[in-house]
Amino acid sequence: MPDINQINGLVLCDETNVNGVTITNISNIDDIAKNCCTANGPISLAVDGDSCPNACASEECANYYSDGNVGVCPLVNGDHLWADNNCNCAEVGFYSPQNCEGGCAYCYTVDESCVITVTECPGESCNAIDLSFAEDRCSTACNGEECATYYVNQEIACPLSVGTEIYTDGECSECAAPGFYSPKPCEGEEACTYCYTLGNEEGCQITAVDACGG
C-alpha cells in the first residue's frame, strides 16, 4: 500500500494540524506511514560544484528526482531537486541534463532548500582551470605562489592554444586581465610548464604560448 496522504477526505499534506496535533508530528496513522513527498523520476543529470558551464559540459551522469514534471524539458524555477526518491535534498551546486538525456540544454542551480533556478547552457563549453597570474612577465607567472580559478572556452589541454579565451567567471562573460598566466605552480608534480600571454588588443584571447624557463 502506498504512503498515506489523505484520510476521510482530509489531505494531510495540505493541513497544519489534526485535532490540535501538528501534521509534522504525525509520523503515521494506525501504523500506515504518512509521507508528503513527491518524487518524480528518475532523471539523469550531470553535476558540478563550481559552475553551470562545467555541468553542461560534463558527461558523468547520475539519477535524481524532482517534484516537477520530469517529462518536460526543462524543469521550472521553484521546482525541487532530490538526491533520491525519499526527497532528500540534492547537494548545493549546478546540474544539467544536456549530455545525459535528450539534449536538454539547460542548467539547474540548486540552493540549500533544494529549490532550483533554471538557466540555459552556454553555447560554448566553458571549463575551470587554476592559473597563476603576473602583470610583468612569464617567468613571474611560472614561478608564482598564488593560484586562482579562471575559465576557458575550450577543453582543458596542456598547453592551451593561441586564440583560447580566458575569463574570470564560469559563464565566460568577463575577460581576464591582460598579462601572463601559467598553470605550472598550480598543478604539483604533473605541472603543465607553459605560460600564456593575454594581449590587450585581442580581448580575452591568448596571443602567445611559451614554455616556462624557455
Task: Please report the DSSP string for 25-81 in residue order.
Answer: G--EETTEEB-----EEEEEEEEESS-HHHHHH---EEEEEESS-TTSSS--TT-BE
| Spatial distance between the Cα atoms of 128 and 144, rounded to a whole number of angstroms | 19
**Number of neighbouring beta carbons within 10 Å of residue 127:** 20
Whether residue 89 sits in one domain with residue 71:
yes
Specify whether 186 is located in the same domain as 160: yes
Residues 63 and 97 in one domain: yes
State the residue range of the domain holding 192.
Answer: 127-211
Overall average pLDDT of the 193-212 stretch: 87
Percent of the chain with pLDDT over 70: 80
Q: How far is CA 119 from CA 5, 58, 104, 143, 198, in A?
A: 33, 16, 11, 39, 30
Q: How many angstroms separate the first and last alpha carbons of the chain?
A: 72
Q: In the prediction, which pLDDT does 6 show? A: 53
Q: How many CB atoms lie within 10 A of CB 20?
A: 5
pLDDT of residue 80: 96
Burial-class residue 209 by CB neighbours within 10 Å (0-12, 13-18, 19+): middle
Please state the rounded mean pLDDT for residues 101-124.
86
Q: Are both 159 and 199 inside the same structural domain?
A: yes
Name the residue with higher pLDDT: 207 or 203.
207
Residues 86, 116, single domain; the answer is yes
Residues 63, 108 within the same domain: yes
- Boundary residue ending a domain (75, 92, 120): 120
Residue 190 predicted with pLDDT over 90: no
